[in-house]
Amino acid sequence: MKLNIALLAGDGIGPEVIDQAVKVCDAIATKFNHEISWKPALTGAAAIDAVGEPYPDETHEICKNSDAVLFGAIGHPKFDNDPSAKVRPEQGLLKMRKALGLFANVRPTFTFPSLLDKSPLKRERIEGTDLVFLRELTGGIYFGEKGRRDGGETAFDNCVYTREEVQRLAKKGFELAMTRSKRLCCVDKANVLETSRLWRETVQAMEKDYPEVEVSYEFVDAVAMRLVQWPNSYDVLITENLFGDILTDEASVISGSMGLMPSASLGSDIGLFEPIHGSYPQATGKNIANPMATVLSAAMMFENFGLLEEGKAIRAVVNNALNRGIVTEDLAEENNAYGTKEVGDWLAENV
Ligand code: IPM
Ligand code: MN
């Protein structure tokens, strides 16, 4: 297969972890006879510094004309501490999600047998955890009208959802549940929020089309609690944009390191694949960041092309590295950490 992949390394540790994923993908291409053509493009603070815009038109053109986007990370502290900044790196990611129609963010959380004791949660709580969040990505409070009034003394962010936006996300949730254990949890705050009542009502109306799927409805605050009490009681969870943002960060620590969790953003022909961690400024350029989340995001990319064996090969080599302790400092025993690049080299050589 011939694949054109837009490569958006972004900020912070983005370029370092992306380099490792590229090595692994190239090794997969050689092994399985594919041809990958990488199309690097600017995004985030790196793009603001270069051209004044976090998602330049040129980058959008490259993404639009690719089969998928592999993304590193976005964000820079110089913007975080400046609430008055008009242009922010994060706007690039939001603009890209909207422009590419990526309304469904797939964020799995699973455990690795060799890492059960790395998790901050007790082994017996997390053993067997294998859940997937489907987070709505192009609506809700992130994209509603925002602004100031009363001479700047009052601020507002509107949360808006249409039935159609809920339906298309929920449809993906039901379909995913059908391929798994047929359990779907709709996460909302329907006791308080009108948008949540629309979510609940819409999902309830869809239940009849998927009679085999057992649907539960839970409030977001209760899910936040049960997620760390009994994560292995969940399978597929669907939720709106902001709840999904928060809960998936929470869920990511279950596996033992946020540096392990991949994600896919889907909705149109072009998927975007990225680690769920951020730009980790403190680690930038130190060759210590864990590249595995990005490498596993590449596995999701191959799987989304229907190249299941390729995805499996990547997952297998990551597991193999974890079992042998070929890991970065977030997972290493004292003084036994490998560098970002060394982990990437090992994965590419052993794929
Ligand atoms: C994420 C990130 C983004 C989000 C930021 C960088 C805009 O936290 O992908 O979860 O909030 O969606
Ligand atoms: Mn987030």
Structure tokens at 65: 């004309």
- Distance of alpha carbon 277 from alpha carbon 280, whole angstroms: 8
| Interface predicted TM-score (ipTM) | 0.99
- Is the alpha carbon torsion for 153, 79, 273, 336 positive or negative? negative
Instruction: Look up the pTM and report it.
Output: 0.95
Between the two ends of the chain, the Cα-to-Cα distance in Å is 18
CA of 182 to the centre of ligand 2 (A): 27
* CA-based nearest residue to 111, from 128, 134, 133, 132: 128
Helices (H), 100-141: 123-126
Tally of CA atoms within 13 A in the half-sphere of 12 that contains its CB = 24
Q: Do the Cβ atoms of 17 and 284 come closer than 8 Å?
A: no
Q: Is 221 a catalytic residue?
A: yes
The CA dihedral of 195, 238, 216, 116, to the nearest 10 degrees, is: -140
CA of 211 to the centre of ligand 2 (A): 33
Q: Is 93 close to ligand 1, i.e. is its CB under 6 Å away?
A: yes
- Can you list the domains of the chain with their CATH numbers? 1-100+270-351 (3.40.718.10), 111-260 (3.40.718.10)
Q: Is 269 a catalytic residue?
A: no
- Distance of alpha carbon 314 from alpha carbon 80, whole angstroms: 35
Residues near ion ligand 2 (Cβ under 5 Å): 245
Query: ∠ CA 164-217-131 to the nearest 5 degrees?
Result: 90
Q: Which amino acid is at 175?
A: E
Q: Is 249 a catalytic residue?
A: yes
What does each of the 351 residues of the chain score in pLDDT, given as a tens digit?
999 999 999 999 999 999 999 999 999 999 999 999 999 999 999 999 999 999 999 999 999 999 999 999 999 999 988 888 889 999 999 999 999 999 999 999 999 988 999 999 999 999 999 999 999 999 999 999 999 999 999 999 999 999 999 999 999 999 999 999 999 999 999 999 999 999 999 999 999 999 999 999 999 999 999 999 999 999 999 999 999 999 999 999 999 888 999 999 999 999 999 999 999 999 999 999 999 999 999 999 999 999 999 999 999 999 999 999 999 999 998 889 999 999 999 999 999
Nearest ligand to the CA atom of 93: 1
